[in-house]
Structure 1
Amino acid sequence: MTDPGNEFARLLVRHDRELRRYIATFVPRRDCVEEILQQTAATLWEKFSDFDRNREFVPWAIRFAYFEVLNFRKHQARSRFIFSDEVLSAIEQTHDELASELQHRQMALQGCLEQLPNKDRMLITRRYSDSSTIKSLAVETGRTVKTLYRRLDRIRDSIATCVERKMVSNSQ
């Protein structure tokens, strides 16, 4: 059986960006986002023994983040940069509606990336996952920067078309 502390840390690190982006939709200041994220992490750790391992971590964690945002707002009520409860509810509802679509888009993207020729997939991976610069990729591949930009544009167009096609076919 997995150590709960390790499992929690792995899940939190893996989904840190998603939680951070979610909180940032409610709170405009980065320092406030960090504060809420830290409090959310502490609350998640306290409640982790209640987490059902058969369910997705992100929706569970986002629920706690939402309540931490509300709690933060109570303490910051005098600030003019705080959204009203109605706006927060609208954002929450919109997020819930779009979360499913985003998940479907990510699955479509993954499928489209897998369909790319190996050279193209490697180029995209190196550029975006490994954060390689165009200049360094040009040197590695022996291509000019201009040629590489054009190739990446074609690959991105191909991926976008593929994702849209998959989204349309999945909605029918």
Structure 2
Amino acid sequence: MDEETANKNEVFLTLFTANEAAIRAFVRRLVPTQQDTADVMQGIALVLWRKFHELDDHAGFRKWAFRVARYESLGWLRDKCRDRHVLSEDVIHLLAEESTRREAWLAAQREALDECLEKLPKQQRQLVLAAYSPEVEIQQVAQQSGRTVGAFYQWLHRTRLQLIECTRRTLQTEGPL
């Protein structure tokens, strides 16, 4: 592999990994399940990789990736249209437009939440993150915290309220997008 190809590969990987969470969140708003999202994301990654050479302005990667994600999601949904639980194409277009329009705000919310999570004491942060880990059994996390399941849910509720308030304050401080 020559140096130019290696550099292009590195640029692609840097841009893709920096934007993957936002692309995944976008797709998740369009398809029914997390497994569907994973399936669609594989196709999106392949299309982005194969067509990366067509992108002239790397600063526009996110916008371009969202456009690809939108079309890949619509194609996936069209293939699944026999399932009566799939939304009509018009509704999907509306959702995609709204998701694209709100992405900057959602990204700011994610960043503010990350900042607020970092402000929590280490043990508290670890318990919150453990409670929201995929396939977690809340009983195990409650036991790890030294609380009953009911007491843990109450503690988690209070912690979520703290995080919501911290996120709100952080967003107000940073100003409108």
Indicate whether the TM-score tops 0.5.
yes
Scaled by the length of structure 2, the TM-score of the pair is 0.67
Q: String of CA shifts for 1:123-154, please: whole Å, max 9, x gaps.
A: 11221136532211232233222221121111
How far apart in 1 are the matches of 2:51 and 2:8? 15
CA RMSD between the two structures? 4.1
CA contact (8 A) 2:66 2:100 kept: no
Partner of 2:27: 20
How far apart in 1 are the matches of 2:144 and 2:76? 48
Q: String of CA shifts for 1:74-100, please: whole Å, max 9, x gaps.
A: 8899x995334xx56543432222101
Q: 2:65 aligns with which of 31, 56, 61?
A: 61
How far apart in 1 are the matches of 2:61 and 2:166? 28
Aligned: 1:136 with 2:140: yes
Q: CA 1:36–1:150 in 2, change beyond 3 Å: closer, same or farther?
A: closer
Aligned-pair CA distance for 1:41: 3.7
Q: 1:83 aligns with which of 85, 89, 107?
A: 89
Q: 2:9 aligns with which of 4, 27, 33?
A: 4
| Paired amino acid for 2:27 | R
CA contact (8 A) 1:23 1:36 kept: no
Gap runs ≥5 in structure 2? 1-5
How far apart in 2 are the matches of 1:69 and 1:48? 19
Partner of 1:162: 166
How far apart in 2 are the matches of 1:56 and 1:101? 18
Scaled by the length of structure 1, the TM-score of the pair is 0.68
Aligned: 1:100 with 2:104: yes
Q: Percent identity?
A: 26
How far apart in 2 are the matches of 1:165 and 1:58? 27
Q: String of CA shifts for 1:92-116, please: whole Å, max 9, x gaps.
A: 4322221010011011101111111
Residue-pair matches, total: 166
Q: String of CA shifts for 1:29-83, please: whole Å, max 9, x gaps.
A: 9998777655534422221234579537543221112234566788899x99533
Partner of 2:124: 120
Aligned-pair CA distance for 1:22: 4.6
Aligned-pair CA distance for 1:159: 0.3
| Paired amino acid for 1:146 | G
| Paired amino acid for 1:118 | K
